[in-house]
Amino acid sequence: MQVTAKRKRAVSFRLAASDVRQIKTIAARLGARDSDVARFALKLLLSRIAPIADGEVRGRRLLPAFIEVGEEMIRHFELDVARLKTIINDGASSDQRVEESDIVLLAMSASGGSYVAMQLEEFSKNTGSLEGLRGYLYDKYVHRPRVSPRVDAGKPPQLAAVPVG
């Protein structure tokens, strides 16, 4: 048994001053240490994007990680449609692949703007465009019915040709 695998390691990374202030404010309010708040935030994020760390997870099984934090991740890492297609679908079997039009919608949701809101309007069922998109993607790829297909799962909106990236 390796003891080193269970030991914690000190890791250093840079944070913006505003992030440090926010961590300190949260820690003070919770009566916790700054490091406990930072570890909690990191563990929370890692649990939400855990499928990305698993090299065997592809296609529709990888989609929940992108639905949950995709907007922020796509913006932060500047992921375009081509890169998202590769990350999500490379190595996925044909029944596990995510349609390119849905990957385009996912990428567009991260870019924001009035054009995107207009294109995603079809998904807005009194919950907002992005919530509607999340519901559509979950219905289509994650909560797929096994016995009888749902008729109301929705169809993606028709997108005008717009350069993405």
Is residue 100 assigned to a domain? yes
pLDDT per residue rounded down to tens, the chain (165 residues):
444 567 788 888 899 999 999 999 999 999 999 999 999 999 999 998 999 999 999 999 998 888 888 788 888 899 999 999 999 999 999 999 999 988 988 888 777 656 566 656 655 554 445 677 788 888 888 876 544 444 444 555 444 444 444
Q: At what angle do helices 100-111 and 81-89 cross, to 10 degrees?
A: 130
Q: How many domains does the chain have?
A: 2
Domain of residue 26: give its range. Answer: 16-48
- For residues 118 and 84, membership in a common domain is answered with yes
Is residue 11 assigned to a domain? no
- For residues 36 and 111, membership in a common domain is answered with no
CB burial of residue 162 (10 Å; 0-12, 13-18, 19+): exposed
Residue of 97, 119, 98 lying closest to 164 (CA atoms): 119
14: helix, coil or strand? coil
- For residues 91 and 148, membership in a common domain is answered with yes
Alpha-carbon dihedral angle through residues 48, 73, 88, 153, given to the nearest 10 degrees? 70
pTM of the model: 0.67
Is residue 9 assigned to a domain? no
